[in-house]
Structure 1
Amino acid sequence: MFSRTLSHLFGRALTLGALLALATGCPGGGDDDDDGGGGTPKTLTGQVTYDFVPATYSSLTDSGTLAFNQATKRPVRNAVVQVRQGSRILATTNTTEQGNYQLTYTPAATGELSLDVLAKTSSPQIQVEDNTDSNSIWAMGSSITSTSTTLNVHASHGWTGNAYEASHRVAAPFAILDSMYTAARAFMAVRTVTFPALKVNWSPDNVPQGGDKAAGFISTSHFSPSENEIYILGKEGADTDEFDSHVIVHEWGHYFENNLSRSDSPGGPHGRGDILDPRIAFGEGYGNGIAAILLPESLYVDTHWGPDGLTSFGFDAETEPLDTDDPEPGVFSETSVHRLLYDLYDSGTNESYDQVALGLGPIYDALVGLQKTTPSMTTIASFITALKEMKVVSNASVDTLLARYSMGPITSVWGEGDSKMSGIYVGVSSLPYSTTGTLDGDYESNKRAQNQYFVFTGKGSQVTVSANSAYDVGIALYKQGQVVGYADSFITGTESFSVATQTNALYVLVLTGYEEPRVSYSASVSITSP
């Protein structure tokens, strides 16, 4: 049994298009009878499995690890399986939910036969590629003898006790694939969903450093909106995320947002206790919460290598927040958001404040409904408003949950009912408009203290938006989440742009401070129209 990227099946690098052309070039369901020797059809059956290594965490010791001694065999589900003879594909199928397969093929008189399992599913379409090897698809294979009728294939984790044996580190791409398949199938079980094809990039050379992604410098495990692809860390001794299921599904959740829902999150650093811009508070809280919901497993664990070897950190989406866990609860806390989402989903039988058990279907409906089309920014306010407008749950029960996490009884996408959320939006009733506000350089640009929103209605005329400060600021104008105007010189605090507006359309202007002088500073905004 051997493992390699798919290009190595041919002894040369092939583009993805060429690989797909080869994979689909055999008519009749993949059988190829043009063997030149009139061979006898053969049938091969078996099961494909992989090692799943649990990521553990204890809140008592604030530590954990990858528990290789607790590894279990799991089926490789819906994966593409092929019989090859040299570079020719003789038959293709997909594994079942139990990892089983059956293939009938007709071999030529000569040529080595192999069974190859690709880190690729067909429904939905997900494939795991090596971004450091010409984006080739990961695969594992075994030789087939002329008398083979049964062949089971297993992907091992390759851990020897203190290091990975590279040639046996086969399970990683299949573990990643299976976590994302689990996430997608959970939604498909409750709603009719068509997911766009997804490419996931994993390599044992992917390190937590920025630079050339083709060389493995991916910064962190992340979803890239511009590429619509996911990158996962894999460097031994630095950070390996292939068995961190919650991390993987968190990033898959951002892919879901980008393709079926919407996210206005500015991105950037975030963590426990941060008072975030509400866009990122929702985006990251949603990512954590949706991972706990879809897997389903409430304990979120992220492992990494430290000075003392493998360790981890984590949190339980079901556990009541503590001062040390969520010291600044509310609409600007990602921890409050992910626990609120989980409580909206689950039954909460032991929690008097949780009388809501929506399940996954209504959450999906809210995400692809008003959360996608809201004229406001995407925040917990737009999501809660979507749920309330669907009338699938008692508003009073939702408000009780909101109060549990120090949020007011939200009644609109603009956060009315919660003074902190509504306070980030400033209504502009008429133009021209000008104001001066205060930003705080003690915080990064994605924190609440560095952002302010202004809302106005388009009149069908051109508007000019300007900002001025002694420090670095930027401005962006949104219409239903789409940026229609933007200015940030990265040098001065004077920014301006002009755009044509649509009659009766709502626009949100976001003023962001980028300077970090560790002092409060003023910034003025003006919106004018001829």
Structure 2
Amino acid sequence: MFPWRLFSACAVLILLSGCDIPNAEIRGTITYEKVPHSSISHGLEYTKSFDVPVRGVEVQLIEDGSVIATDITDSQGQYKFIKKMDTFVKIRVRAELVNETGDSDSNEWNVRVVDNTNDKALYTLETDVFEVKRESMSIDLHAASGWQEGQGYTSVRAAAPFHILDKVNDIFVKLDAIGDVQLPALVINWSPNNIPQFGDVTTGEIGTSYYTNGQIFLLGAEDIDTDEYDQHVIIHEWGHFFEDSIARSDSIGGPHAGGDHLDIRVAFGEGFGNAWSAMITDQPTYQDSFDQDQATGFSIEIEDNDVINPGWFSEGSVQSLLYDIYDEASDGQDFINLGLEPIVDILTGPQKETDALTSIFTFMTFLKNENPSFENDFNNLLEAQNITADVDIWGSNAQNDGSLPEALPIYLELNPADVIRVCTSTSQGADGNKLANHRFLKLNVPSDGSYTLTLTPSRDNDIDGYILSKGTEVAKNEEPGIEPAVITANLTQGVSIADVIGYNAEGTSVAATCFDAAFQMN
């Protein structure tokens, strides 16, 4: 018989009656370090940073390199696992928000924050391997900013991807409160290597923070321009994703700033992005940090009704209008408090199917139709921004030409067999997205069939033309040279839009030009 001293108490019990290793509860809180903005300089204030829960992310329990259990953090950043004692595990937190239920009645999303300079590796936060040796264990994880006062970033900027994700989570919380929203997957690319230089995005040369084709790219260049803590920038770019994925945006993008006279599509898209960031945060002061120690910045007062160069071509006018429609504050002409839902309904409903290009005119026309009791209030808001209150989707009655006669009418009517004279302009800039760089022709199509649009320049200019149906390109001519641009397309009865822009003879820069537009059925 073996000496009793060779056996543990549990071993004796196993011999006698069978003994299971007891379970342990592993729980904890996941947090990240948030760095706020100064209300004076609008730069970052690292000395005032504080801890914030990481909400809605997947936490993994890993044993021997395999994921054996998962949990989702709650609104307090808390998670919980049950695991056998006397085992060795680690905890990993993934920088992604996933809610894919397969239920059409539930909101769905899938957002990942990755490093575009490291093969799009997903950012994670994890512990070392530890032994489960108590029946109750508390394992907290914290993502620090990596900032050392007086020295800059001296360690991994672990908090950055989780702050980015947390701002997206703010959007989902608001959308969840107003109804059913099904969103496709989104990848957010952030890296400390992301610099304001255009080139190879896999090395960080992203140029600026922007959205394109299901991906957001965010700057991270220390002492130059970082956007990971600029919540308005993050949410603004997400707004472009929203427009592109489940609403509609006809914006052509490009450089823009307050006071610019913009292409009608760009004015609405950028004004919406700014207003959206204020709606989600309920903070109408848009802040963007940059420069040495990220200590400098600029701000935009979204709610400010005193806009430089107001009008339908102004992103400032658009953002002011949209935020006034949303918010509770009564200021100036603003006595409306519709909240987020009516705005989302218009963007994902009638504006998505409009024949006209997306603009403040399409949005306000549909908003008036859906909310007739507020028509007088809407009119007051429009007139305060020097926008004609008697709107239709075409802006037919627009009077404000931004001191640029070529800007009106916004759409020129063109019927089969007609020939009309059209001029573009570069008086407000030649970036390709400024007022009257493009001119729009409203092609009235009497019946289904094949049609040809001929654009003949009157001087040595290159002409590019595009035919659009509900914002979707159906035909184009971008051939270089000074010959007439001929575009043939099968069109359906109703209205299509021609978008025309002029270039110099070499086709290398935007140029003001005049041309004859002829439209005929083949």
The residue that corresponds to 1:320 in the other structure is 305
Q: Is the 8 A contact 1:440 1:518 kept in 2?
A: no
Note the residue ranges of structure 1 that are not aligned, 5 or more in a row: 1-37
Could you tell me how far 1:232 is from its partner in structure 2? 0.9
Give the drift of 1:42.
2.8
Q: 1:512 aligns with which of 493, 501, 505?
A: 501
Which string of whole-angstrom CA distances, capped at 9 and with x for unpartnered residues, describes residues 181-223 of structure 1?
1112212211221222211111111111111211111111111
Change (3 A) 1:373 1:174: same
Q: Separation in 2 of the partners of 1:241 and 1:393?
A: 41
Aligned equivalent of 1:14: none
Deviations 1:114-167 (A, max 9, x none): 111111112332111111111111001112332361111111111112454453
Does the 8 A contact of 1:426 with 1:453 survive in 2?
yes
Confirm whether residue 499 of structure 1 aligns to residue 489 of structure 2. yes
The 1:168–1:309 alpha-carbon spacing in structure 2 relative to 1, beyond 3 Å, is closer
Describe how 1:199-348 pairs up with structure 2 within 5 A.
Answer: 199-225=187-213, 228-305=214-291, 310-321=295-306, 326-348=307-329
Q: Percent identity?
A: 31
Name which of 109, 113, 116 aligns with 2:92: 116
1:141 maps to what in 2? Answer: 126
Q: What is the CA-CA distance between 1:268 and the residue it aligns to?
A: 0.7
In 1, distance between residues paired with 2:461 and 2:303? 42
* 1:211-238 residue CA offsets vs partner (Å, 9 max, x unmatched): 121111111111113xx11111112122
User: Residues 492, 154 of structure 1: CA spacing in aligned structure 2 closer, same or farther, 3 A cutoff?
Assistant: farther
Partner of 2:65: 87
1:445–1:514 contact (8 Å) kept in structure 2? no
Change beyond 3 A, Cα 1:190–1:423: same
Contact 1:52 1:74 in 2 (8 A): yes
The 5-angstrom pairing of residues 15-34 of structure 1 reads none
Alpha-carbon distance in 2 for matches of 1:491, 1:164: 53
Question: Is the counterpart of residue 379 in structure 1 residue 359 in structure 2?
Answer: yes
Please report how far the alpha carbon of residue 64 of structure 1 lies from its aligned counterpart in structure 2 after TM superposition. 2.7
Q: Distance in 1 between matches of 2:189 and 2:84?
A: 34
> Is this contact kept in 2: 1:285–1:338, CA < 8 A?
yes
1:397 and 2:377 correspond: yes
Q: Following the alignment from structure 2 to structure 1, what is the Cα–Cα distance between the partners of residues 125 and 390?
A: 51
Q: CA deviation at 1:488?
A: 1.4
- Seen in structure 2, the aligned counterparts of structure 1 residues 490 and 288 have a Cα distance that, compared at 3 Å, is farther
Q: Distance in 1 between matches of 2:413 and 2:58?
A: 54
TM-score scaled to structure 1, two decimals? 0.86
Question: Which residue number corresponds to residue 157 of structure 1?
Answer: 145
Aligned residue for 1:66, secondary structure, equals coil
Contact 1:51 1:72 in 2 (8 A): yes
Could you say what secondary structure the match of 2:313 adopts? coil
Structure 1 distance, partners of 2:160, 2:373, is 41
* TM-aligned CA deviation for residue 347 of structure 1: 2.2
Is the contact between residue 148 and residue 154 of structure 2 (CA under 8 Å) also seen in structure 1? no
Q: Is 2:49 aligned against 1:71?
A: yes
CA contact (8 A) 2:437 2:512 kept: no
CA contact under 8 A between 1:75 and 1:98: conserved in structure 2? yes
Matched, 1:98 2:76: yes
Q: Which SS does the other structure have where 1:416 is aligned?
A: coil
1:52 aligns with 2:30: no
Distance 1:393 1:166 in 2: 57
Say if 2:333 is the partner of 1:353.
yes
Deviation at 1:417, TM superposition (A): 3.7
CA distance in 2, matches of 1:410, 1:77: 45
Note the alpha carbon deviations across 1:318-370, whole angstroms, 9 max, x for none: 2332xxxx321010000111011100111232x24112111111011111111
Amino acid of the structure 1 residue aligned with 2:343: I
Q: Deviations 1:257-284 (Å, cap 9, x if unpaired)?
A: 0111000001111111111011000000
* Amino acid across the alignment from 1:167: S
Which of 160, 163, 169 is residue 172 of structure 1 equivalent to? 160
Q: Which SS does the other structure have where 2:148 is aligned?
A: coil
Residue in 2 aligned with 1:450? 437
What is the alpha-carbon root mean square deviation over aligned residues? 2.2
Q: Match for 2:180 among 192, 197, 209?
A: 192
Structure 2 length as normaliser, TM-score?
0.87
Q: How many residues align?
A: 478
**Pairs within 5 Å for 1:367-446:** 367-391=347-371, 393-420=373-400, 423-428=409-414, 430-442=415-427, 443=429, 444-446=431-433
Distance 1:494 1:164 in 2: 58
Q: Which has the higher Rg, Structure 1 or Structure 2? A: 2
**Secondary structure, counterpart of 1:411 in structure 2:** coil
Q: Do structure 1's residue 521 and structure 2's residue 513 form an aligned pair? A: yes
Q: Distance in 2 between matches of 1:184 and 1:513?
A: 42
